[in-house]
Structure 1
Amino acid sequence: MDLKREVPGNCPICKSETKVTEIYCKNCDTTIRGEFELCKFCRLNEEQKYFIEVFIKNRGNIKEIEKELGISYPTVRNKLDEVISSLGYKLEKPAINQKEILEKLSKGEISKDEAMKLLNK
């Protein structure tokens, strides 16, 4: 069985960003040495990669993501914020849209507790 191993984007010891220093082609026996940057997505942990896969598969439809992962709206938002941060982007706290939160509550899309959490941010 051929196990697929990915290059860790962060050091398992100190959590700093890693660099690739050698690439090898087993077909032509070529080795390239240097310092290579990893893509931004290599910085994501397995859980974050899975979340992004589900997010893309569901075309960003939060209701479908909630259903597939069995998590609440605020949890989907928190996971998305974690991914955004891990990719190196700064998160600005969005202004609370009370009307949107109350509409979601009235439609049963979020619970009373979830609405309270969102309104108290």
Structure 2
Amino acid sequence: MIFRAPNYCPVCNHEMKISSLSCDYCQTQIEGSFTTCKLCKLPVEQQEFIEVFLKCRGSIKDVEKELGISYPTVRNRLDGVVQALGYKVQKQDDEEEKNFKQEIISALEKGEISAQEAVRLLRKAAK
């Protein structure tokens, strides 16, 4: 049985370091102070989410289906992972969204798109 190495000390909650590595094949052993990758430091729930996200090749719709969660929930979990990795989450600007919706309505008024297409685009923009 293989266990996951803990990321944080169960006593003081500071980051754990790996101090020994070994090869099961040739029995080579290396000792030192090693850190894990950023993804390995994520909580297990976020690691599993990223695995599904990658399996679905980044398709939020496919992640929705795979996990049985809504589009906004997928986006929120993805934003949580991005933040946990130390990056800033880019939120869609309210003004940009308003302009996009106005363009849809304008296209509908000009007869460039059908009412059904306008509804589809507006629903997509609301997600």
- Give the TM-score of the pair, scaled to structure 1: 0.68
Q: What is the Cα-based RMSD across aligned positions, in Å?
A: 3.0
2:114 match: none
Deviation for aligned residue 1:55: 0.7
> What does 1:8-27 correspond to in 2, within 5 Å?
8-27=6-25
Aligned pairs, number: 108
CA deviation profile, 1:66-103 (whole Å, cap 9, x unmatched)? 11111111111111111112222233444233447xx8
List gaps (5 residues or longer) in structure 1.
none
1:109–1:74 Cα change, 3 Å: farther
Deviation for aligned residue 1:12: 4.1
The one of 29, 38, 41 equivalent to 2:39 is 41
The structure that has the greater radius of gyration is 2
**Is 1:54 matched with 2:69?**
no
The one of 120, 123, 126 equivalent to 1:107 is 120
Which structure is higher in helix share?
2
CA deviation profile, 1:95-114 (whole Å, cap 9, x unmatched)? 233447xx8xx43996xxxx
1:78 match: 76
List gaps (5 residues or longer) in structure 2.
105-118
Greater RCO (CA < 8 Å, at least 6 residues apart): 1
Question: Could you say what secondary structure the match of 1:21 adopts?
Answer: strand
Matched residues in 2 for 1:94 and 1:18: separation? 36
